[in-house]
Structure 1
Amino acid sequence: MNRRLLLAFAAVALLALTAGCTGLFGGGEFSEEELQGDSSTSYEWNASTDVRLNVTDGEYHAVYDLEDQSEIELYERESLGEETPVEVNTVRFRYPNGTVVTLGQDHVEKQNSRTVITPPADDGQLAFTAPHRGKSFSVPTYVEGSYEVVLPRGMRVGNFLLSQVRPGDYTTDLRDGRVHIVWPDVTADDVVVRYYLARDLTIFTGVIAGGILLAIIGLAYFRLQIRQLEREREEMGLNVDTSDDEFDQGPPPGMG
């Protein structure tokens, strides 16, 4: 019994030691290689909005205009509502004079459920790349102002059954096969876009049309069967008109 207790305590101690070492040596932190990222990555520094989110297959590029902001905390909301740090890479900062620098580990770190970025200046533009998957895009509004979301090529919004855009008061524009969604002023907590592939609408319309056609055919067949049953009843003499039945003499005397 004592041996089992000792083994249990040893296992707990090993787990605690492992967790301590992970925290001590920066486990889960961003590497300099990740923050440097792909040197060929280009960001849209001259966008007309305060925030530009360019969504592509597998990732998105974000550019934020910062004004008097010494820190920004990035996080994602999972399906169950918990918050997790955004796995950023290729992090850049652009000074007002146009100089672009890479932000390393001294400016980017994970703290609990957030990715905390401390820019080298309070004013400027912050850009990063982060992973993305699926046909929906959601991001908290870390800064207020105008927002633009650029959807992947071939994706669309507009059909209320297949897409959703929040908040309202937005405009859409199709340029070079990509939909640009612009909000002039966002004060909501999140920007949410659920979109669909352009050909999905054709497939969806075809399915609906096919369903309606099948319903019409089914209704016609049902009515045909009803009429056939009526004819069979008539042939069998089951539908007899008794309105002039000789036994129907009307009400008893004195009650007519």
Structure 2
Amino acid sequence: MNRRHYLAAGALLAVVLLAGCGLGPSEIPEEDLSENATYDWDVNATATFDISRSSYAAVVNVTNSSELAVWRRDPIEGDNPVNLRALQFRYRNGTVVNATHANLTATRNQDRTVIGLPARDGLVGYTAARADKQFGTPVFVEGSYEIVLPPDARVGIPLLSQAGPGGWSSSVEGDRMTVRWDNVSSGSVSVRYYLQRDIILFGSLAAIMVVAGVAGTLYYRRKIRELEGKREDLGLDVETEDDDFGDDGPPPGMR
């Protein structure tokens, strides 16, 4: 290996080492973690995700653990840490603390956000951003999962919505639907929903397409009849069924 190869190898090693420096743990800004938020601690599931238009609030029941790792799953990028905010912890006695508590922390790793807990049993609440008419989360803890859809959002109509894995149930309270899985231990849960007003829009669009199709069919039929009438007026439609060519013998002069 000559000097040029050594220099190239050294440069490559330096790039790798520098890139690796960005892969280590990083603290989430305290102002993000200390944001104000109100969580519904009276949940009936191990993990509950209350979805709004642009964010979601998670409440996770932790038992006999000093930390909770959360992440999001992207079909292209793979697992990524959650950029959470408004971190809170509720003790079993009902006391709630936020991220100003010395023992409630959150650190981003390469593919996880690790939440350090002030007690081994309690409820963790946090908020994170989201978008689109779908939501999914990996299974962080084993147990029951609930996803509370935004107001007027629904699942249940094929093509317009989907929920997975199978075995889910749903209930509606007020204008909000909750999708529930009673027992999941691995994988992920997800929903793709529609808004009730979408049904009116799709119905109106379908009606317009039907009317347009019927009108188009009638228009082309009328045009075809007009063309047939013009052909008859020009004498282009000559009936030849009664012409008996050859029945009277050869032409005159050839008999």
The normalised TM-score by structure 2 is: 0.78
Alignment equivalent of 1:152, drawn from 150, 153, 177? 150
Q: Given residue 54 of structure 1, which amino acid in structure 2 is its aligned partner?
A: D
Give identity over the alignment, percent. 36
Q: CA deviation at 1:127?
A: 1.5
CA deviations on 1:135-178 (whole Å, 9 max, x unpaired) are 22111111222211111223233332332222222222222212
1:253 is matched with which residue?
none
Letter in 1 for 2:235: G
| Post-superposition CA distance 1:188-220 (Å, at most 9, x none) | 512111223322221121112111111111111
Instruction: Please say if residues 31 and 105 of structure 1, whose CA atoms lie closer than 8 Å, have aligned partners that are also in contact.
Output: no
Distance 2:31 2:116 in 1: 18
CA distance in 2, matches of 1:147, 1:18: 37
Q: 8 Å contact 2:70–2:114 — kept in the other structure?
A: yes
- 2-side partners of 1:19 and 1:105: how far apart? 29
Structure 2 CA distance, aligned partners of 1:213 and 1:156?
A: 28
CA drift at 1:76: 1.5
Residue 42 (structure 2) aligns with: 46
The 1-side partners of 2:92 and 2:208 are apart by 58
What is the alpha-carbon distance in structure 1 between the residues aligned to residue 231 and residue 171 of structure 2?
64
Tell me, in whole angstroms, the C-alpha distance in 1 between the residues paired with 2:106 and 2:47: 20
Name the SS for the 1:143 alignment partner: coil
**2:120 alignment partner, SS class:** coil
Rounded Cα–Cα distance in structure 1 between residues aligned with 2:239 and 2:186: 72
Name the SS for the 1:244 alignment partner: coil
How far does residue 187 in structure 1 lie from its aligned partner after superposition? 4.3
Tell me how far 1:18 sits from its aligned partner.
11
* Kept in 2: contact 1:144–1:185 (CA 8 A): yes
What's the counterpart of residue 29 of structure 1?
Answer: 27
SS of 1:229's partner is helix
Q: Cα–Cα, structure 1 residues 111 and 197, in superposed 2: closer, same or farther, change >3 Å?
A: same
Instruction: Tell me which residue corresponds to 2:58.
Output: 62
* 2:191 matched residue in structure 1: 193
**Structure 1: 5+ residue stretches without partners:** 1-8, 251-256
Local SS of the residue matching 2:147: strand
Structure 1 residue 32, shift from structure 2 partner: 2.8
- RMSD after superposition: 3.0
The answer to whether structure 1 residue 92 and structure 2 residue 88 are counterparts is yes
| Matched letter for residue 128 of structure 1 | Y
How far the C-alpha of 1:226 sits from its partner, in A, is 1.7
| Structure 2 counterpart of 1:66, one-letter code | V
TM-score, length-normalised on structure 1?
A: 0.78
Cα deviation, residue 248, structure 1: 5.9
Distance 1:18 1:83, change over 3 A: closer
Q: 1:110 to 1:161 in 2, by over 3 A?
A: same
List aligned pairs for 1:216-235, cutoff 5 A: 216-235=214-233
What letter corresponds to residue 84 of structure 2 in structure 1?
V
Structure 1 position 234, deviation (Å): 2.2
2:163 match = 165
Between 1:202-211 and 1:237-246, the stretch displaced more is: 237-246
Name the aligned partner's letter for residue 149 of structure 1.
I
Amino acid at match of 1:147: Y
Task: Describe the shift of the 1:157–1:240 C-alpha distance in structure 2 as closer, same or farther (beyond 3 A).
Answer: same
Instruction: State whether residues 144 and 186 of structure 1, in contact with CA within 8 Å, keep that contact through their aligned partners in structure 2.
Output: yes
Counterpart of 2:245?
247
Query: Stretches of 4+ moved more than 4 A in 1?
Result: 16-20, 103-106
8 Å Cα contact 1:66-1:122 kept in structure 2? yes
